[in-house]
Amino acid sequence: MKRTIIMRTLSLSLLLTAVLASSGCEETPTAETYRREVVISGVLTAGRSVDTIKVSWTGVVDQRYDLSALAITDAVVVVREVGGTFADTLVYDPSVPGRYFSPDTARKILPTRTYELTVRTVTPEARTVSAVTTVPDEFAITTSTLTDGGTVKYDVTAPVHSFAWTPSASYGTYLPTITYLDSGAAMIPKIFYQDTLSADFQRPDKVGYRIGLPPTQLSTELPWIFLSYYGTVRFDVYAIDVNYSDFINQYIPAQGGELREIRYRTVGGIGVFGSRTAARNPITVRLVP
């Protein structure tokens, strides 16, 4: 089964964690071969304020990665609109390692605008990292075999559901996503999900279930296999920018391979600064046994 098609949990922070300890190292690091890098990770969402930009150092490849120890807490982190008046200096959140956020929730990210992130570190050494993203345009889910607000019986023998959407612009690809809204929802029994039976399994809040859709594809099916929990389930489609799309499409095939070959669209550091726009008309259903 190709990993480029299926990915159970899609969290940018989790994706990057696997990369942080290995980036920049050709072999077991020495004073000559290893230079730590500033890592940035964040995705702007159209219609919302800047919620999370994480800033940290890379770790040594043969040591356990600890974000609490490697988080950068005194950086100057600014998001500006290129050619516009928007400028937001983010503040550090001491309760979440490495997280910077906007203190002004009234400052909204707008579709089709281009934003630049600048991160300046002071201690223990001065670095400047920058990246630019153009937020995808607005679009909408137009047709679906699912009815918003309806009840769906989980039945793997029934035809799969599908939905379609209008095209966006300034995007890299589309990412259909499942969100489970009931925190205590029962898991759908699947004997082949051996990892979900382990004691350390953590329930995914969101599932990006179609990775690597062709950029021109404006519809997708919803295979029963991708549904993991009963209860209230919402289906969204995101148009994601080139930065985020490029990272995902490189990272997923690289699992188990050479993560150091990933190309980052940043200057002065590594990581991902991307953006996304959610389609209008998301669909919410009640999934029952």
CA 165/CA 272 separation, integer angstroms: 26
> Residue 250: what residue type?
Q
Rounded to whole angstroms, the Cα distance separating 253 from 156 reads: 28
Q: Which residues contact 135 (CB under 8 A, 6 or more apart)?
A: 44, 46, 109, 110, 111, 112, 113, 114, 115, 170, 241, 275, 276, 277
What residues contact residue 113 under an 8 Å CB cut-off, 6+ apart? 81, 82, 84, 86, 134, 135
Q: Are the C-beta atoms of residues 141 and 281 closer than 8 Å to each other?
A: yes
**Spatial distance between the Cα atoms of 189 and 196, rounded to a whole number of angstroms:** 10
32-36, 129-133, 163-167: least confident range: 32-36
Categorize the per-residue pLDDT at 248 as very low, low, confident or very high, splitting at 50, 70 and 90: confident
Is 49's pLDDT higher than 70? yes
In the predicted structure, residue 287 carries a pLDDT above the cut 80: yes
pLDDT at 206: 61
Distance CA 101, CA 52 (A): 5
Query: What is the residue extent of each domain of the chain?
Result: 12-136+241-278, 141-239+279-288
CB-hemisphere CA count at 13 Å for 174? 25
Contacts of 35 (CB under 8 A, 6+ apart): 24
Q: How confident is the model at residue 2 (pLDDT cuts 50, 70, 90)?
A: very low
C-alpha atoms less than 13 angstroms from C-alpha of 25 in its C-beta half-sphere: 18
Mean pLDDT value of segment 150-163: 94
The structure's pTM equals 0.82
Q: Where are the alpha helices (DSSP H) in the chain?
A: 12-20, 67-70, 242-254
Q: CA-to-CA distance for 138 and 237, rounded, in angstroms?
A: 11
Residue 201 corresponds to which tokens in the numbers above? 């399994």
pLDDT at 1 over 50: no
- The lowest-confidence range among 81-90, 158-167, 221-230 is 221-230
How many Å apart are CA 177 and CA 179, to the nearest integer?
A: 7
Mean pLDDT, the chain, integer? 83
Report residue 52's pLDDT band, with 50, 70 and 90 as the boundaries.
very high
Q: Which residue has the higher pLDDT, 104 or 62?
A: 104
- pLDDT of residue 278 exceeding 80, the answer is yes
pLDDT, tens only, 217-236: 999 999 898 888 899 999 99
CB-CB contact of 238 with 279 (8 Å): yes
Residue 5, pLDDT score: 28
